[in-house]
Amino acid sequence: MTHNNCRHFAGKKTGLLPAITGAILFLSFYAFVAAAQTDQPGYYIKGEELFKQKKYYEAIQYFEKYLATEIKTTPRSQPFAVKKKVPGKSNLNIHNEAVYRMAESYRMIHNYQMAEKWYKEAMSFSRDAYPACPYWYGISLRANQKYEEAFNAITQFRESYSKMDELLVGADKELENLKFIRTQLSKEKDDFFVTRQPMPVNSSAYALSASGPDHVVYTSVYEDKKNDLFVARLYETSGNNTPDNGKAIIIDEAPGIHNGLATFSKEGNKMFFTRWMVNNGITTSAIYSADKTDTGWTKPEPLPEPVNMKGSNSAQPFITSDGKYLLFSSNRDGGTGKYDIWYATLDGDYNALLVTNAGNIVNTAGDEVSPSYHQTSRSLLFSSNGHVGMGGYDIFSAKGDFQLSNWEKPVNAGKPINSSKDDLYFISTDEDNLWNTGWLSSDRATDCCLEPYTVRQDNAQYISGSVTDCSSKQPLPGVTLIVKDPKNADRVLLKQQTNNEGNYSFKLNNSSRFDISAEKEGYHPANESYKVYFEAGTDTISNNNICLSLVAAPAMEEEVLNLNESITLAKFSFNQSALDNASYYELDSLAAFMKKFSSTIIEVGGHTDGKGSEAYNIRLAQKRVDACIRYLVKKGISKDRLVGKAYGKCCPLEPEKINGKDNPAARKKNRRVEYRVVNNE
């Protein structure tokens, strides 16, 4: 099957045309059709030729032209007939052939509305000539959410069809799908809100992934006017994280090359993605990698064996959050079905070592694609058309272990995450709760193309607690409580005061983590962080007691006065700005200090060694400062109490050359971030 937004690869929805309107399609083919043979049989012959070449959009134009101009005659008196015979067909009725080809073509481009129309007409044709018609008519009805009609059509096919082939197996599975759909439709209330997101004009966006904090990468179709081609490219967006404002990721490419579904290392400096080409309707795909430098992405290189294997396709990579595994889909030998989920162990440099099949609990005789992994819940996520579901590709989860390749039976995510069409590329955006928030791609609202959707679980947490005096243990009324989202320190979820008994209560939705700041005049403020694990529905949660300590004296304590000189906060490797584990102790200590002395303002200063230009080192120093400030903000420190400054290679602690020779130990010591008190009023 093919699809016009290149959602998969060979044999899976991989057409070349973009998601564009019918008007644009008409204009694209107008000149082509006008130049065709003007006699009626010629339209049919050209349509057949294009159909066999898997050029279904173009074929539709010619079949429509033929059917619009055909002479209404009986099969015997037709001036033009197909010069061939197949089982169940003598001299073929050319009208019937054109109608059935129309139905098939629309199905292949996943326009099920039009496919249903033409299959319905074909249902009156000879069943011997078109034995599969009831099956595909039923599939189209199911995709169009006409479930009872679909059940009747598939049942009719199953009762009359006796050939032991894929259609018979497919009919049995489709009946199971329809039974599953009935159970989903009987639910009183959905557990999720699934919301369609804005997209680029006349294009499609799908396969979203995170490239860094508040940055999303997705795949979309680009019109290469210079080479008269439509190609899939990678785009990146930030801020509101919607695909309608993205910018293309610039990587080395050539005309006719498609790039899609990117995944990134935790540091964000290595990217794996799918690159594919389509020739004569056949797609060949492989997984490529590129590294991020100061000047952009390096030239992409295909991953060597055992990821990419000669004679097979590999696609849709996903790096686990711990950086230990690369998941992907492939039709290589040794699998369970067509496309299977595989995973490779990675070394510290993201080189693939051993590749393992996820096994026949996850994989089926059908296709399993678009894998991802949720670390906290130990859940493998993927889409499948081989397991029982809502129809087409459904999203599933399976708990398990990579080392043992031991997976529990996959669970269908159900309605409304899954639909009667294709649902793929689910990514959880909550590190604590698998289904709380996420992204998926689906063609449920279109006749052609995958579009991005956000997923939000329907849940509520009713939270209560109390605030007391640390010494007397008595309840404290009138304490101001500020509840914030630790993932976005500037986002205040709510603000309230304790009642006369020192108690508080509030409601949250979709908040896996929250911080509470408790403040009262004459007391030191207190800050508490909470993590919540939940399922859909409502939970009642009781927080541990928060206690406040009286301020001992109005004067600034000696502990603050001793911080008038700079103190090293974090150290960094050459050319790096990522925090290492050794830095967290100092950062946590500073956060605790700033919570204790809530009026203190701290300067965070970034330094580099002497290598590189001044401008480059200023940028690098700023990145190091930003990394420290982001961490402190996540720990509950207000951003307006932190003053960042990039010093670059200024102010080394030790000279980097001794007697003209390089001093690596000094350079290592100079690569640092320091802090000092700049305001203690």
Band (pLDDT 50/70/90 cuts) for residue 85 is: very low
Q: Which residue type occupies 551?
A: V
Domain with CATH 2.60.40.10 in the chain: 459-548
Class of domain 459-548 (CATH, top level): mainly beta
Answer whether 0.85 is exceeded by the pTM: no
**217 contacts: CB under 8 Å, gap ≥ 6:** 208, 209, 210, 211, 234, 235, 236, 249, 262, 264
pLDDT of residue 32: 35
Distance separating alpha carbons of residues 70 and 575, to the nearest angstrom: 71
Q: Reply yes or no on whether the pLDDT at 378 is more than 80.
A: yes
Find how far residue 49's CA is from the centre of its chain. Answer: 38
pLDDT of residue 9: 33
Percent of the chain surpassing pLDDT 70: 87
Distance separating alpha carbons of residues 308 and 331, to the nearest angstrom: 11
pLDDT digits (tens, 9 = 90+) for 617-646: 999 999 999 999 999 999 999 998 899 999
Lowest pLDDT segment from 73-77, 490-494, 499-503: 73-77
Contact 462, 474 (CB under 8 A): no
User: What is 550-575 written as a DSSP string?
Assistant: BP--SSPPHHHHTTSS-EEEEE--TT
pLDDT digits (tens, 9 = 90+) for 121-133: 999 999 899 999 9
pLDDT of residue 580: 86
As a residue count, the chain comes to 681
Band (pLDDT 50/70/90 cuts) for residue 1 is: very low
Distance separating alpha carbons of residues 511 and 184, to the nearest angstrom: 27
Burial group, residue 483, by CB count within 10 angstroms (0-12, 13-18, 19+): buried
Mean pLDDT on 651-666: 88
The CATH code for residues 558-679 is 3.30.1330.60
Domain with CATH 3.30.1330.60 in the chain: 558-679
Q: Reply yes or no on whether the pLDDT at 10 is more than 50.
A: no
Q: Reply yes or no on whether the pLDDT at 447 is more than 70.
A: yes
Q: What is the mean pLDDT of the chain?
A: 86
Mean pLDDT on 341-365: 96
Percent of the chain surpassing pLDDT 90: 63
Contact 450, 443 (CB under 8 A): yes
With tokens 């008269």, the residue in question is 228
Mean pLDDT on 392-416: 95
Band (pLDDT 50/70/90 cuts) for residue 293 is: very high
pLDDT of residue 557: 52
Considering the segment(s) 22-161 as one domain, its CATH architecture is Alpha Horseshoe (1.25)
With tokens 């002479």, the residue in question is 71
Distance separating alpha carbons of residues 430 and 93, to the nearest angstrom: 57
Alpha carbon distances (Å) from 559 to 551, 562, 637: 15, 5, 19
Mean pLDDT on 63-86: 58
Prior bond of 416 cis (ω within 30°)? yes
pLDDT of residue 254: 87
Domain with CATH 1.25.40.10 in the chain: 22-161
pLDDT digits (tens, 9 = 90+) for 572-623: 989 999 998 888 888 998 998 888 877 788 999 999 998 989 999 999 999 9
Burial group, residue 572, by CB count within 10 angstroms (0-12, 13-18, 19+): buried
Band (pLDDT 50/70/90 cuts) for residue 84 is: very low
**528 contacts: CB under 8 Å, gap ≥ 6:** 515, 516, 518, 543, 544, 546
Neighbours of 16 (CB within 10 A): 22
pLDDT of residue 193: 95
Distance separating alpha carbons of residues 135 and 566, to the nearest angstrom: 75
Distance separating alpha carbons of residues 297 and 414, to the nearest angstrom: 39
Domain with CATH 2.115.10.20 in the chain: 192-457
pLDDT of residue 487: 81
pLDDT of residue 514: 94
pLDDT digits (tens, 9 = 90+) for 481-496: 999 998 877 789 999 9
Which 8-state DSSP code applies to residue 586?
A: H
Burial group, residue 640, by CB count within 10 angstroms (0-12, 13-18, 19+): exposed
Closest CA to 139 of 151, 128, 130: 151
Mean pLDDT on 213-232: 85
Class of domain 192-457 (CATH, top level): mainly beta
pLDDT digits (tens, 9 = 90+) for 195-207: 998 776 556 788 9
